[in-house]
């Protein structure tokens, strides 16, 4: 059993469409724990740091413009195989290829407005979580996780 922590963002399109609660509840219903959460307006510097691997690509400026266009909800999600499991719940980046029942398959309108972001690896999760959260932002929910594993 690999307990992991990952970053999930409910992007500005999710917040503006009042779907943050629905998105968060999908992760919780799957059994993942929210161990940190912030409603925030991302500034350009933090956005560029978050999307640093895309710097220099033709779509980089559009990513930064969109993610800073309105408030977002940043989540630290924890649980068994959370990185892969959360990405499965989100669905394919292109909503036209995302399965029905996934967040993007059910709600997203385009690749550029695809509702959510989730870390794609352990290294990305560690780097991205540090962009959005300080150590003091996390709560311990070990007893919740242990109870969930026993009930499972």
Query: What is the tens place of the pLDDT at every residue in 74-115?
Result: 999 999 999 999 999 999 999 999 999 999 999 999 998 999
pLDDT score at 2: 83
Tell me what pLDDT residue 146 has: 64
Catalytic residue among 50, 54, 117, 122: 117
pTM: 0.91
Number of residues that this document lists for the chain:
152
Report the CATH superfamily, name and number, of domain 3-151.
Nucleoside diphosphate kinase-like domain (3.30.70.141)
CA dist., res. 116 & res. 103, Å (int): 8
So what's the pLDDT on residue 121? 96
Any idea where the domains of the chain sit in the sequence? 3-151
Q: Is 143 annotated in the active site? A: no
pLDDT less than 70: residues of the chain:
1, 142-152
């Amino acid at each position: 059993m690999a307990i992991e922590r990952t970053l999930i963002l409910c992007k500005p399109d999710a917040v503006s469409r009042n779907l943050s609660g629905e998105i968060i509840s999908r992760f919780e219903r799957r059994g993942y724990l929210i161990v940190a959460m912030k409603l925030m307006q991302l500034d350009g510097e933090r956005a560029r740091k978050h999307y640093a691997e895309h710097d220099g690509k033709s779509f980089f400026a559009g990513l930064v413009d969109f993610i800073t266009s309105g408030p977002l909800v940043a989540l630290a999600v924890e649980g068994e195989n959370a990185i892969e499991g959360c990405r499965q719940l989100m669905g394919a980046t292109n909503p036209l290829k995302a399965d029905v029942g996934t967040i993007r398959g059910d709600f997203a309108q385009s690749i550029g407005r695809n509702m959510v972001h989730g870390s794609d690896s352990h290294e990305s999760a560690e780097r991205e979580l540090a962009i959005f959260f300080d150590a003091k932002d996390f709560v311990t929910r070990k007893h919740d996780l242990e109870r969930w594993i026993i009930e499972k």
